[in-house]
Amino acid sequence: MTNSHNSLFTQHRATDQRTLIQYNEHLMNSHLVMTGYADAARRLRNSYKAEPWDDVILLPFLFVWRQAIELALKVNIRDLAEMRRQNGEVDPALQRSAVKRRLRFKVGHDLTALIEEQQSHISALGLEETPKPVLETLRLLAALDNGGTGFRYAGVLCAPSADINFETIAIALDNAFRLLEVVIDAATHGQGVDWS
């Protein structure tokens, strides 16, 4: 059992700026973690050299993109529900506690359900529809990872063996994430959602 005085972090305390990386639980939020996953996926993409050994990065690459996309969808759903409340909608399903409970317990890691909920909020608010190629990428990612564990473990991916164009799949996932990142900015003209 680990206590706060002896952890993996304390065993590897930085003593030099050249090796420093920081974790601060008070600064971490869904946006920063989401951005971190996307950055990790981009770094994996940049490490690709078209060599046979690169095959081993495919599942980790898909996993970190999937995590970034899941978090982006959840952030958007929370913000879009908040916008609907601020617009005067009183549906109990839009209340913060209901949205939080639904995202955590009912929807969980189900990308298909997250995509559909985000789309329902976009429609209800009369926002610009998500481009079809982005929706297709999101839905194909969800189908490939039915249940949310396909990229974490060997042998549970919903796909046979395949020769994949790494560059085009990387671009498609990056484009989908970038669009999810700007949903709220586009909806609020760059002002973000007022949570006060």
CB of 156 within 8 A of CB of 144? no
- Cα torsion through 151, 155, 161, 164, rounded to 10: 10
pLDDT at residue 196, rounded to an integer = 75
Provide the whole-model pTM. Answer: 0.91
pLDDT at residue 3, rounded to an integer = 52
In a domain, 156, yes or no: yes
pLDDT at residue 41, rounded to an integer = 97
Tell me the backbone φ, ψ of residue 85, rounded to 5 degrees: -65, -45
pLDDT at residue 80, rounded to an integer = 97
Report the distance separating Cα 49 and Cα 57, nearest Å. 11
Residue environment code for 57-76, b if the CB has 16+ CB neighbours within 10 A, otherwise e:
ebeebbbbbbbbbbbbbbbb
DSSP state of 88: T
- Taking only the tens of pLDDT, the chain with its 196 residues reads 445 578 999 999 999 999 999 988 888 888 899 999 999 999 999 999 999 999 999 999 999 999 999 999 999 999 999 999 999 999 999 999 999 999 998 898 999 999 999 999 999 999 999 999 999 999 999 999 877 878 888 888 877 889 999 999 999 999 999 999 999 999 898 888 988 7
In a domain, 95, yes or no: yes
In a domain, 181, yes or no: yes
pLDDT at residue 81, rounded to an integer = 97
DSSP string, 102-135: IIIIIITT-HHHHHHHHHHHHHHHTPPPPPHHHH
Report the distance separating Cα 189 and Cα 183, nearest Å. 10
In a domain, 15, yes or no: no
In a domain, 158, yes or no: yes
Residues spanned by the domain of 156: 29-188
Number of domains in the chain: 1
In a domain, 195, yes or no: no
In a domain, 89, yes or no: yes
In a domain, 61, yes or no: yes
Place of tokens 């994430």: 177
